[in-house]
Amino acid sequence: MIRKLCCFLLLAFVFLPFSGSAGDSAPPYALVIHGGAGTILRDRMDLQTEQSYRAELHAALAIGQEILSGGGSSLDAVEQVIRYLEDSPRFNAGRGSVFTEDGHNEMDASIMDGRDRDAGAVAGVTNVRHPITAARRVMSDSPHVMMAREGAEAFAAEQGLEIVDPEWFKTERRWKSYLKAKANRETDPDRKHGTVGCVALDVNGNLAAGTSTGGMTLKKWGRIGDSPVIGAGTWADNATCGISATGHGEFFIRNAVAHDIAALMEYKGLSVQEAADLVIQQKLVAQGATGGVIALDRNGNVAMSFNTAGMYRGYALADAEPVVQVFKDE
């Protein structure tokens, strides 16, 4: 009898530490980012380009990790990571944004605080260097949630944010793809959605999410996509999850994608991965809509779901090596 009891205690001692799922105890912090989804194929990308994308994603993760590991807020991490990606000409946000049909850059961004669903967004701005910071100021320093065009620009200037010549956003690469798209009358020649986004969970258990974009190539003057629309391109609620989306914005608005994922978790008890997959791999695919999301639940479980050939993406969890991925088969 005593021998049996000893055996049982020994087995319990060996196996118990492995019996919990990763989500049982919240990690101190978590961070997930994307740089857009689309036709991103290994055989169409040279090694140098691939490496520079990966390096940019690693650098963005490192910025967020430094803030979160030092006890900073998820909102600060989201804003700073996105500011970095907005300045990178590689991604379709801030500098390097795609062009409208009439050859201009018009940018959209939004941010949301999971503590109380406070949110801010700007749409169609043309001269604000960091649209994500303007979105955050709309949240923190105005009574509104969304401001557009000249009104948003005037507000950003009043707030002392950096205003630049619209030429700042123009890059040779995007201009060439604009001319190509115009010549071929294609709305999105590369079918790449280069929007950037970030979702973070801080050491206090608060989620935040943000998204910033130049929109879609050859979009009409004044067109606004899903990225600044709370519940479509961005969502954060400590009760469920944080989400940032990238893809064909019209479909993401019509399907309230980000909120739909949170609602599936709240009302049907789905995990963040199940909810994201249901919306991205089933609902959107059935409508012929392309794109993806990054998501984090309140326990720091990461989901990165996309229905395109690739998505620039990465995540960082406390005490683990950051992970960066580009292609589907990674």
Please report, as ranges, the residues that interact with ligand ASP according to CB under 6 A.
36, 92, 193-195, 213, 215-216, 225-227, 246-247, 249
Q: Which is nearer to ligand ASP, 36 or 120 (CB)?
A: 36
Q: Quote the least distance from Cβ 7 to ligand ASP, whole Å.
A: 57
Q: Quote the least distance from Cβ 174 to ligand ASP, whole Å.
A: 12
Q: Which is nearer to ligand ASP, 206 or 227 (CB)?
A: 227
Q: Quote the least distance from Cβ 167 to ligand ASP, whole Å.
A: 22
Q: Report which DSSP code applies to 167.
A: G
Q: Distance between CA atoms of 263 and 237, rounded to whole angstroms?
A: 11
3-state class (DSSP) for residue 278 = helix
Q: Distance between CA atoms of 271 and 109, rounded to whole angstroms?
A: 27
Q: Distance between CA atoms of 119 and 131, rounded to whole angstroms?
A: 14
Q: Which is nearer to ligand ASP, 73 or 92 (CB)?
A: 92
Q: Which of 256, 249, 219, 231 is nearest to 146 (CA)?
A: 231
Q: Distance between CA atoms of 225 and 254, rounded to whole angstroms?
A: 11
Give catalytic residue positions.
195
Q: Which is nearer to ligand ASP, 123 or 201 (CB)?
A: 123
Q: Distance between CA atoms of 136 and 209, rounded to whole angstroms?
A: 11
Assign 3-state DSSP to the chain and report helix, strand, coil percentages, each to 5.
Answer: 40, 25, 35
Q: Distance between CA atoms of 47 and 94, rounded to whole angstroms?
A: 25
Q: Quote the least distance from Cβ 210 to ligand ASP, whole Å.
A: 13
Q: Which is nearer to ligand ASP, 242 or 300 (CB)?
A: 242
Q: Which is nearer to ligand ASP, 86 or 226 (CB)?
A: 226
Q: Quote the least distance from Cβ 317 to ligand ASP, whole Å.
A: 25
Q: Quote the least distance from Cβ 54 to ligand ASP, whole Å.
A: 19
Rg of the chain over all Cα atoms, to the nearest angstrom: 20
Reading the block at residue 106, the tokens are 């018009």
- What is the residue-wise DSSP string for 178-221? HHHHHHHT-S-TT-EE--EEEEEE-TTS-EEEEEEE---TTBPT
Q: How far is CA 214 from CA 16, 54, 124, 278, in A?
A: 50, 21, 9, 27
Question: What is the H or E stretch that residue 311 is in?
Answer: strand 310-317
CA-CA-CA-CA dihedral for 143, 144, 148, 149, to nearest 10: 10
